[in-house]
A and B are shown apart, each in its own frame.
Chain A
Amino acid sequence: MHAQRTDLPQGTLDLLILQVAALGPLHGYAIAQRIQQVSRAALQVQQGSLYPALHRLENKGFLAAEWKDTETGREAKFYRLTAKGRRKLKDETEDWRRLVEAVGLILALAAGEAL
């Protein structure tokens, strides 16, 4: 079954990555998989944007990276949320909630008028 795919709004990829990384150290592939699974495949993260985003967040200090062995015994780069990243995640989440709420209100209004 294929759910309908949605393009990510600008800037939300960072939020998603931070949220997923908050669950524990994960490598890039796992992060992509997790986003896809949790969103029930509605959100598909392109590698072309995932890795630049990961590197950007790492360089800004929101994520910390470490090379560790996976369960299959291969070495991979694991990303983990830093304290700074946690604050950022909190702020971004609140922003996002406010945005969704505001958009929802306006949409509700539009729906009411249509009736």
Chain B
Amino acid sequence: MNWWQRLWKKKLLEDRLDRELRFHFDSQVADYMRGGMKETEARRRASLEFGALESVKDDCREARGTLWVDTTWQDLRFSFRTLRKTPAFTLAAIITLALGIGANTAIFNVTNAVLLRSLPVHDPQQLVSLKVEPGQPDGAGNTGDSETSFSDLVFECLRTRHDAFSAVIAHVPLGFSKISVRHGQMPEEALGEMTSGDLFSGLGVRMACGRPFTLDDEYNHTAVTVVSYTFFERSFGENCQNTVGHTLYIKGFPFTIVGVAARGFFGLLNGSTDIWIPLQHRPEFNAWGSSNEGYYADAKWWCLPLMARLAPGISPERAVTMVAPAFQRAAYEPLGGKPHPGEKPRTLALVPLRGVPGAEGQAKSLTVLMGMVGLILVIACGNIAMLLVARNTSRQREFSIRLAIGGSRFRLFRQLLTDSLLITGAGAVLGWILSLAATRALIAWAEIDFDVTPDATVFLFTLGIAIFAGILFGVAPLLPAVRVPIGLALKSSAANLSQSRAKLRTGRIIVAFQVSMCLMLVAASGLLVGTLRNLEHINLGFRASGLLVFGINEQLLAHSDAEAVRFYQALLEKLRALPGVESVTLMGNRIGTGWSNNTTAKVDGKDAVASGPNASIMMRWNDVGPDFFTTLRVPILRGRDLNDRDSDIAPKVAIVNQTFAQRFLAGRDPLGHSVSFNEAKPYTIVGVVANNKYTGLRENDVPMAYFPYTQTNADGVKHIEIRTVDDPVRILPIVRKAVTGFSPDLALLQPMTQQAQFDETISGERLVARLSVCFGALAVLLVATGLYGTLAYSVSRRTSEIGVRIALGARRLDVLWMILREGLVICLIGIAVGLPLTLLSAGLLESLLFGLAPRDPLTTAIAVVGVLLVSAAAGLVPANRAACVQPTIALREE
């Protein structure tokens, strides 16, 4: 009979045990009778020899090795019964713990998905992304992603190195933002990538149905596409198999859908990729949707992000060494064969691929949030520990009776540990459920576009913190409870006053500690909220409300700059005529997205000379349409706005901002001077405008130049900006109709209000600020309850003392103040400890803050006052109860 059978067939075992021992007894009796004894005598003798039957049975049961299960089960049932008898305590403890564990699990879940988790592919440990350090070689063109992009030549060179890599995969977005695709009547937006043929085979991504594209597809530039499962669900939604074979118009060109990628694969971008196509060789499908020569033609253009699967048994370091000479050759071949004089030779680096690609920027915020929820868990554990101490104190009489009638201390200890474990278990389960809801809320809040289903790591994390919490609050309060003297049962309650005083002190220390951590949290959340407020109240330099913005890709209609100009002129004309439209303009880089053109400024044909403290001669520029500044409501300080007459054949003009004028043309009238960039012909400055934000809210004032799009490059995606009479979103349907009138493939790319576009740039800050407020509030709530509990306990212990005081003539106000003071002292001690910690830890927040210092005195002061006020409020209830003590009643109780 094995252990499990012994566990389950208890009744059978008991029956057999009984029969076996009875047989022994009967045999003994029979033997004695055979020896001449009378039956009664024989029985008496046998029982004497046998000893206590039950104790023998108990020892036999012990031998089964299953007894601990029974005991544990008994303990659990007993714990369950006692916990149910005090529902308020049980609920308070479980909910407190669930909040702590839930918050931790939710934040860790997101952290795990963003930073830690590997791709859902075969053997993800072997995947690396390629980096060039410290950025592209001098003389090479780049895309802004200087460290992570490579030239086609480097890619072709590395992918032949099968000794180091099983596969090298190039994957490049089809545009800076989403692109337009269509399979029915209405075009839609999709995030798309163009990749080498071994994307799916190299990563080991399976297809939900159909086939992946292959290296042959890449070499022949076949017009085939694989779509993601989410895209399939969103746009086709029914039978996966039927989707295969459909034609998808990507940027107006027909592609055949050959496969649907397995659910859960979101691609290699920061955001979920909708479609993949093999590398194409035509101007419309250039890397990043760019309008230059193309990545095949331009050997100096480093534009391809690369990743690789290491060959079996090859470490990243080894692979780098193996391919280093070949990499150097391929990198410098089009650039004169060797590095420029003084240039640090570029090296290849391989970094493990994990988390959401490109989300490393979130690491800081997530770390701060993890720290905050960690503190909350510790505070929560403090509360539960105090609750348990109070509960165990009130059960001391029960314990002492149990000890007095022969219960073992070990068993008592076990029983109390079971209580803690039951609470921890319930708290962890509830916390896990809470965290699922919280994660869902987080995703909705943060507009996160990736999979955050908790995986085994998250589960282990939750288990880990549950165990940590269980030990933290579970074991500590047991020791005093188990040390209870047996004689206590016989004594009166007053006898243990000194003991409870020691416990009260422990409680006070815990609360003071909680206050100090709470202060840290509140101060941090104050700083983050202050940052958000500063960002929200930034003067953009134009009026963002009442503006509708969307992108248009004219490449499917126009095939030259001249055609593009004619198209955009016609489009602007048509949009201006729509009802509810006040004015319309366009721009090359959508403002508020972070994208910008940066170049060395040239004034009057020569490199600009900077005056003032900032010596940088870099400027930003944008190509914009007529009425740009009028439409945006940017004040024009000198000269004029651009207009329809600034066409491709008109004299070249430019408008600069105030910073440009101050830095490069100090003391001179900017009008009439000229500005130019790269090799371009000079543009005469015809206007000066007030500074306004271009890339985002955190942008500092930089020199800016604006050129008519007709006189730079009209080709490529442009963003239309419409000033509307009332709510911009309301005119979206008629705008959409007007645009599709030009071609059914013309989608409005990412239509939104300009306000929303800028709001999006601080969505991360907003989320962190909101969460930190939630966490701060939670911490305050927990500390307030903890303090309230401690003071209430103190009052209940001192009822008779207070009664005596009042009987002797103490005023009620004095009593009120006495209790209140007790709470404030605890709080002040907490603040005294917490303030240095707060100031010390605030430095960690520095990079997340905007417009205020990490040790902002006002924020710190508000946090201190806030914590004090909350403590006073929490103390008021027990203090009031103390003040209302009736001396006669209090004294009678004693």
A77 to B1, CA, bound (A): 14
A59-B23 contact in complex given A47-B50, A48-B51, C-beta closer than 8 Å: no
Cβ-defined contact, A51 with B20, below 8 A: yes
Please classify the interface of chain A as helix (H, G, I), strand (E, B), loop, or mixed, using the class held by over half of its residues: helix
Chain A proximity mask over B1-34: 1 for CB below 8 Å, otherwise 0: 1010010000000001001110110111000000
Q: Count contacts on A: residues with CB < 8 A to the other chain.
A: 19
A77 to B23, CA, bound (A): 9
Cβ-defined contact, A28 with B20, below 8 A: yes
Q: Which of B25-68 contact A (CB under 8 A)?
A: 26-28, 49-52, 55-56, 59-60, 62-65
A76 contacts B by Cβ under 8 Å:
yes
A46 to B28, CA, bound (A): 13
A28 to B60, CA, bound (A): 13
A76 to B22, CA, bound (A): 10
**In the complex, what's the smallest C-beta–C-beta distance from A105 to chain B, in angstroms?**
36
Q: Which residue of A lies closest to B30 (CB)?
A: A72
Cβ-defined contact, B19 with A75, below 8 A: yes
A52-B23 contact in complex given A47-B51, A59-B6, C-beta closer than 8 Å: no
Q: Which residue of B lies closest to A47 (CB)?
A: B50
A27 contacts B by Cβ under 8 Å:
yes
**In the complex, what's the smallest C-beta–C-beta distance from A115 to chain B, in angstroms?**
44
Cβ-defined contact, B51 with A46, below 8 A: yes
Cβ-defined contact, A29 with B59, below 8 A: no
Please, which residues of chain A bring their CB within 8 A of the CB of B65?
59
A51-B55 contact in complex given A29-B28, A59-B63, C-beta closer than 8 Å: no
A98 contacts B by Cβ under 8 Å:
no
Cβ-defined contact, B21 with A51, below 8 A: yes
**In the complex, what's the smallest C-beta–C-beta distance from A80 to chain B, in angstroms?**
15
Q: Which residue of A lies closest to B28 (CB)?
A: A29
Cβ-defined contact, B64 with A59, below 8 A: yes
**In the complex, what's the smallest C-beta–C-beta distance from B318 to chain A, in angstroms?**
51
Q: Count contacts on B: residues with CB < 8 A to the other chain.
A: 24
A74 contacts B by Cβ under 8 Å:
yes
**In the complex, what's the smallest C-beta–C-beta distance from B47 to chain A, in angstroms?**
11
Please, which residues of chain B bring their CB within 8 A of the CB of A49?
59
A27 to B65, CA, bound (A): 22
Please, which residues of chain A bring their CB within 8 A of the CB of B51?
46-48
Cβ-defined contact, B60 with A55, below 8 A: yes
Q: Which of A41-81 contact B (CB under 8 A)?
A: 46-49, 51-53, 55-56, 59, 67, 74-77
A76 to B21, CA, bound (A): 10
Q: Which residue of B lies closest to A57 (CB)?
A: B63
A76 to B63, CA, bound (A): 20
A49 to B49, CA, bound (A): 12
Please, which residues of chain A bring their CB within 8 A of the CB of B27?
29
A76 to B19, CA, bound (A): 8
A75 to B22, CA, bound (A): 11
Cβ-defined contact, A52 with B63, below 8 A: yes
**In the complex, what's the smallest C-beta–C-beta distance from B11 to chain A, in angstroms?**
16
Please, which residues of chain A bring their CB within 8 A of the CB of B64?
55, 59
A75 to B23, CA, bound (A): 8
Q: Which residue of B lies closest to A53 (CB)?
A: B63
Please, which residues of chain A bring their CB within 8 A of the CB of B6?
59
Please, which residues of chain B bring their CB within 8 A of the CB of A67?
16
Q: Which residue of B lies closest to A27 (CB)?
A: B23
Please, which residues of chain B bring their CB within 8 A of the CB of A51?
20-21, 24, 56, 59-60
Cβ-defined contact, A74 with B23, below 8 A: yes
Q: Which of B64-84 contact A (CB under 8 A)?
A: 64-65
**In the complex, what's the smallest C-beta–C-beta distance from B872 to chain A, in angstroms?**
64
A24 to B551, CA, bound (A): 94
Cβ-defined contact, A77 with B20, below 8 A: yes
Please, which residues of chain B bring their CB within 8 A of the CB of A27?
20, 23-24
Cβ-defined contact, A56 with B20, below 8 A: no
Q: Which of A26-41 contact B (CB under 8 A)?
A: 27-29, 32
**In the complex, what's the smallest C-beta–C-beta distance from A81 to chain B, in angstroms?**
17
**In the complex, what's the smallest C-beta–C-beta distance from A38 to chain B, in angstroms?**
17
Please, which residues of chain B bring their CB within 8 A of the CB of A52?
56, 59-60, 62-63
The winner among B21, B28, B63 for most chain A CB atoms within 10 A is: B63
Q: Which of B834-877 contact A (CB under 8 A)?
A: none
A67 to B558, CA, bound (A): 97
Please, which residues of chain B bring their CB within 8 A of the CB of A77?
16, 19-20, 23
**In the complex, what's the smallest C-beta–C-beta distance from B542 to chain A, in angstroms?**
84
Q: Which residue of B lies closest to A67 (CB)?
A: B16
Please, which residues of chain B bring their CB within 8 A of the CB of A46?
51
A29-B60 contact in complex given A48-B55, A59-B6, C-beta closer than 8 Å: no
Cβ-defined contact, B23 with A76, below 8 A: yes
Please, which residues of chain A bring their CB within 8 A of the CB of B63?
52-53, 55-56, 59
A32 to B23, CA, bound (A): 13
A49 to B19, CA, bound (A): 17
Cβ-defined contact, B56 with A47, below 8 A: yes
The winner among B16, B19, B60, B62 for most chain A CB atoms within 10 A is: B60
Please, which residues of chain B bring their CB within 8 A of the CB of A76?
20, 23
**In the complex, what's the smallest C-beta–C-beta distance from B24 to chain A, in angstroms?**
5
**In the complex, what's the smallest C-beta–C-beta distance from A72 to chain B, in angstroms?**
8
Please, which residues of chain A bring their CB within 8 A of the CB of B49?
47
Cβ-defined contact, B59 with A47, below 8 A: no
Please, which residues of chain B bring their CB within 8 A of the CB of A53?
63
A55 to B62, CA, bound (A): 9
**In the complex, what's the smallest C-beta–C-beta distance from B329 to chain A, in angstroms?**
70
A75 to B52, CA, bound (A): 24
A59 to B248, CA, bound (A): 70
Please, which residues of chain A bring their CB within 8 A of the CB of B56?
47-48, 51-52
Please, which residues of chain A bring their CB within 8 A of the CB of B19?
75, 77
**In the complex, what's the smallest C-beta–C-beta distance from B489 to chain A, in angstroms?**
32
Please, which residues of chain B bring their CB within 8 A of the CB of A59?
1, 3, 6, 63-65
A49 to B28, CA, bound (A): 16
Please, which residues of chain B bring their CB within 8 A of the CB of A47?
21, 24, 49-51, 56
**In the complex, what's the smallest C-beta–C-beta distance from A36 to chain B, in angstroms?**
11
Please, which residues of chain B bring their CB within 8 A of the CB of A75?
19, 23
**In the complex, what's the smallest C-beta–C-beta distance from A47 to chain B, in angstroms?**
5
Please, which residues of chain A bring their CB within 8 A of the CB of B20?
27-28, 51, 76-77
Cβ-defined contact, A48 with B24, below 8 A: no
**In the complex, what's the smallest C-beta–C-beta distance from A33 to chain B, in angstroms?**
8
Q: Which residue of B lies closest to A77 (CB)?
A: B20
A75 to B27, CA, bound (A): 12
A67 to B19, CA, bound (A): 11
Please, which residues of chain A bring their CB within 8 A of the CB of B26?
74
Please, which residues of chain B bring their CB within 8 A of the CB of A74?
23, 26
Q: Which residue of A lies closest to B66 (CB)?
A: A59
A53 to B55, CA, bound (A): 14
A-B contact pairs, 12 of them (CB 8 A): A27-B20, A29-B27, A29-B28, A47-B49, A48-B52, A52-B56, A52-B59, A55-B64, A75-B19, A76-B20, A77-B20, A77-B23
**A-B contact sample (4 more), CB < 8 A, given A28-B24, A48-B52, A59-B1:** A53-B63, A75-B19, A77-B19, A77-B23
- The 3 closest A-B CB pairs, nearest first, are A52-B59, A55-B63, A56-B63
